[in-house]
Amino acid sequence: MCRNIKTLFNFDPPANQEQIRDASLQFVRKISGFNKPSKANEHSFQIAVDEITQISSRLLRSLETDAPPKNREEEAARAKAHALMRFRA
């Protein structure tokens, strides 16, 4: 999976539309192989990002869990510490 796509479910505060759109953009980039599409593909690329953003928003609203929400800052610090340990060598 693309490492730039972050988990968005079960955080306090919940993911906002910008975060969902950013993840959708990363997904479309990954599956299309384009970081920036050509003019010929730009329209299709943007439609895909828009549709995936809508679907992802709907998915996140419909999911349920009994687990307590995670804190974004704590998760980011944990990921940073993990990366330091992983890439230290």
pLDDT tens digit sequence for 28-78: 999 999 999 999 999 999 999 999 999 999 999 999 999 999 998 898 899
6 in any annotated domain: no
| 21: in domain | yes
Strand partners, 71: 12
**pLDDT at 61 (0 to 100):** 96
Output the pLDDT for position 76: 86
3-class secondary-structure state, position 1: coil
Alpha carbons within 13 A on the beta-carbon side of 54: 5
Residue 5 lies in a domain: no
- The alpha carbon dihedral of 57, 60, 63, 66 has a sign of negative
Whether 16 maps to a domain, the answer reads yes
User: What's residue 89's pLDDT?
Assistant: 59
How many separate domains does the chain show? 1
Residue span of the structural domain in which 22 resides:
11-87
Neighbouring-strand partners of residue 12:
71
Note the pLDDT of residue 3. 66
Does the residue 20 lie in any domain?
Answer: yes
* 1 pLDDT higher than 70: no
